[in-house]
Amino acid sequence: MKKPRSISTKARKHFTGARLAEGTRSKQRRAKQKVMEWELRLYVAGNTPNSIAAFSNLQDICEEHMGGRYRIEIVDLFENPQLARGDQIVAVPTLVRRLPTPIKKIIGDLSNTERVLVGLDLKPARSYAAKR
């Protein structure tokens, strides 16, 4: 099985300013502290508006709520459709939280921040349900 690539050169033009490999903390600081790191994989289908919105929304959420302790991997299913089978992807865009365990999935453009925070276990479910 091929190893997933971060993002195609063609798609990179549309995901402007993308920091795909790392958050904002320095490696030296991470080495000193034992911090939980989030490993996220975003499955997209090319440069569609939903794919671009999902990536942008995910970056905003990560920067605001994960404090640089995250890695985002973009998997374009137009380039690597076989990778959808591994995480059982049935719709795109889909976000898969690989670490911390357990694995979680969120389908959509990630525009509902509260729902994404609950889905990633960054916010308790009852606080989201109380607002509805």
Positive or negative torsion for Cα 28, 32, 33, 37: positive
Tokens representing 103? 């694995």
pLDDT at 8: 45
Contact 55, 42 (CB under 8 A): yes
pLDDT at 131: 56
Class of 9-131 per CATH? Answer: alpha beta
pTM tops 0.75, yes or no: no
Domain limits of the chain? 9-131
**Exposure b/e, 25-42, CB count within 10 A at least 16 = b:** beeeeeeeeeeebbebbb
Per-residue pLDDT band at 123 (split at 50, 70, 90): confident
Q: What is the dihedral of CA 80, 40, 61, 125, to 10 degrees?
A: 120
Q: Is the pLDDT confidence value at 132 over 50?
A: yes
End-to-end Cα separation, the chain, in angstroms: 43
**pLDDT (tens digit per residue) in 54-97:** 999 999 999 999 988 999 999 999 999 999 998 899 999 999 99
If you average pLDDT over every residue of the chain, what do you get?
Answer: 79
